[in-house]
Amino acid sequence: MYYRFGKVFYFLSVLVFLFALLYFYAALPEQIGIRLDDQGGILREYPKSTFFYGLAIGFFIFNLVTIYTPKTLETKTNQKLHRLFPIGDPYRDYLLLWFYSFGGWVNVSLTLGALFVHAINNQEVLSASSYNLWFYLMPIILFVWLGGLFVLLFKKFKATQVGVN
């Protein structure tokens, strides 16, 4: 039951990323800057299409990697994982919740990356430094999420050893 909340968060993050990518693509100049120097000048420039396709391919690969495991668990194609987390097991819902919400956080991180590139190239509208909190917060959230996976797996293995399922 809980994993449905993770699925909703994941699919909303996909929609937000796609909206942000298309919106920022339309708002960017033909040559975009990726890196700033100390004075705020742009150090590296790339074509707008390179940024768009690179971010879209990265989005596709990250989503494929993060959603592969829960989909194989839901469709029972990974028999070893299905035996470890059978239907009705409370840890199955927690694992599915973890994977879908982790995929959502990855998408939010990619959206923030697109926002940062947009902020660099539109300094008169957005200041790139106003998003510093988010750039420190996202790796911390992803690290805590990975820690949550290890805690979840530790509890499952401990419950399996005791015989409580």
SS3 track for 97-111:
HHHHHHHHHHHHHHH
- Whole-Å CA distances, 133 to 38, 52, 137: 19, 25, 6
Q: How confident is the model at residue 51 (pLDDT cuts 50, 70, 90)?
A: confident
Mean pLDDT rounded to a whole number for the chain = 82
Q: How confident is the model at residue 63 (pLDDT cuts 50, 70, 90)?
A: very high
- Whole-Å CA distances, 118 to 42, 68, 85, 130, 162: 13, 30, 42, 13, 53
Can you tell me the distance from the alpha carbon of 69 to that of 74, in angstroms, rounded to the nearest whole number?
Answer: 9
- Domain borders along the chain are 3-162
Q: How confident is the model at residue 13 (pLDDT cuts 50, 70, 90)?
A: very high
pLDDT tens column, 22-49: 888 887 778 776 666 666 666 677 788 8
Q: Which amino acid is at 83?
A: R
